[in-house]
Amino acid sequence: MSGNEALRQVRLAQRSRARPSQPMSRRELADLVNRYVWDNFRQRTGLDENYIGKLERGVVRWPNDLYRAGLRAVLGVGDDADLGFRATRGTPHAMGPDDGPPPWTVSLALASASVLDGMTSAAPPNRIGLPEIDQVRGAAQAFAAWDNLYGGLARDAPIALLRWSVGLLRSQACPAELHSELLSAAAHLAHTCGFMAFDSHAFDDARRLLSFGVACVEEADDWELRARLLATTARLDTWIGEPDRGLTHIQLALVRSDRLTATERAMLHSIEARALARLRRSGDTHEAIARADDAFAGRQVDEDPTWMDHYDAAQHAGDTGMALADLVLAGPDPPPAAAIEDARSRLIRAVDLRRPELVRSRVLSQIGLAKLMMATGAVGEAVAMADEALVTAESIRSRRVADELAQLDRLAARHGDRAEVLDLRGRLAVAAMP
């Protein structure tokens, strides 16, 4: 039986993403295909280097639809024939170890989904009261929890509910005394939608959603939720490389700070510190962290709205620790030992104190700590923490997490001659795929 030389040659022509001087290995190809199938079809597959070997030796000549789609995408070809795959009459369908349902089942399901296309939207109820407002708030909280567990890629569902909420606002069925409550509930859901859009790199959508939320809370005179929306806008600004714009949004959020709780002020000053660190304003960054620490030390949890429960000791340590880490990464070489230790201790605290349900927050702190250690030469500690981060990241699909993993990979390249780093970079290359 002749082998599939076409597939083998296409693979060998691809450069390894972890070791660009070498061709892509069978194992790396298998990992990338598994990731592609999960990201695009949400099916777990068990493709491994042995199965790729069977394909290249011609033992399996017609893999299933999902495998072929993944191989075409990863190897950058447009047709099965380019990979040496040709279906012939009587060719058995080659099932892999974890193929899941056969392709004809998937096709029937997709065809049946067309029944959803013509469905009408739900009309607003004839009477709007606290139950409907509580539904909007509950949706905001439920999808925020979903977002932190799995990432923001499934953001269409809460946006559909936000549209329904806008229908409630347009309706004449809400009593005047509940209108502000409804506006705040819609703003809360807009914040959840905006954060999910931010996490999935839909930055323009995120800005529009957050701006809509700000308009709602300003009409409702809800200063606390206004601060939260502007804080998230500032976080987005800083993430995409516009920290000066982020500082403007923080200053807007701090207007009438006397109306905010101590926890809310701590949140704003910690995000302020992150923006200042990106601007390399070291002294101002430390002053902002001191303000954040002072505010957090005086917080009274029973004064905070429920949607502020995310800003606990772990979040505070993580935000201030990342501001200090950004200063270390951008600062003098070598950085002061005290600066490294301050950032390190805060990030360790963030990792240790994270609540189990805050998966994305935990993995971002883990990656931040690994980046800090890798950049400052503590390679063994960096690899150990990166290993933990990769385990945590397995259940979540977040483009922000993918960004951070890619940055960690670039820092790891400085130590690429070490065996444990080479192995780590191979796994990072797969995990950092969006």
Per-residue pLDDT of the chain (434 residues), as tens digits, is 468 888 989 999 888 876 777 888 888 898 888 888 877 776 777 778 888 888 888 888 888 888 888 898 889 888 888 898 887 655 544 444 444 444 444 445 545 555 555 556 677 788 899 999 999 999 999 999 999 988 887 788 899 999 999 889 888 888 999 999 999 999 999 999 999 999 998 999 999 999 999 999 999 999 999 999 999 999 999 999 999 999 999 999 999 899 999 999 999 999 999 999 999 999 999 999 999 999 999 999 999 999 899 999 999 999 999 999 999 998 777 788 999 999 999 999 999 999 988 999 999 999 999 999 999 999 999 999 999 999 999 888 888 999 999 999 999 999 988 999 999 988 888 876 65
Preceding peptide of 334 cis, ω within 30°: yes
- What pLDDT is attached to residue 115? 57
Return the structure tokens found at 314: 């772990």
pLDDT tens-digit readout, 185-220? 999 999 999 999 999 989 999 999 999 999 999 999
Tell which phi-psi region holds residue 201, choosing left (phi > 0), alpha (psi between -120 and 50) or beta.
left
Tell me how crowded residue 88 is: count the other CB atoms within 10 A of its CB.
7
Which phi and psi (to 5°) does residue 15 adopt? -80, 140
Number of alpha helices (DSSP H) and beta strands (DSSP E) in the chain: 19, 0
- What pLDDT is attached to residue 397? 86
Question: What residue type is assigned to position 319 of the chain?
Answer: D
Stated length of the chain: 434
Tell which phi-psi region holds residue 151, choosing left (phi > 0), alpha (psi between -120 and 50) or beta.
left
Return the structure tokens found at 46: 């068990």
- From the list 165, 191, 183, 205, the residue with the least C-alpha distance to 253 is 191
Q: Quote the DSSP letter at residue 195.
A: H
Q: For residues 409 and 433, is the Cβ–Cβ distance under 8 A?
A: no
Return the structure tokens found at 261: 């709780």
- What pLDDT is attached to residue 433? 66
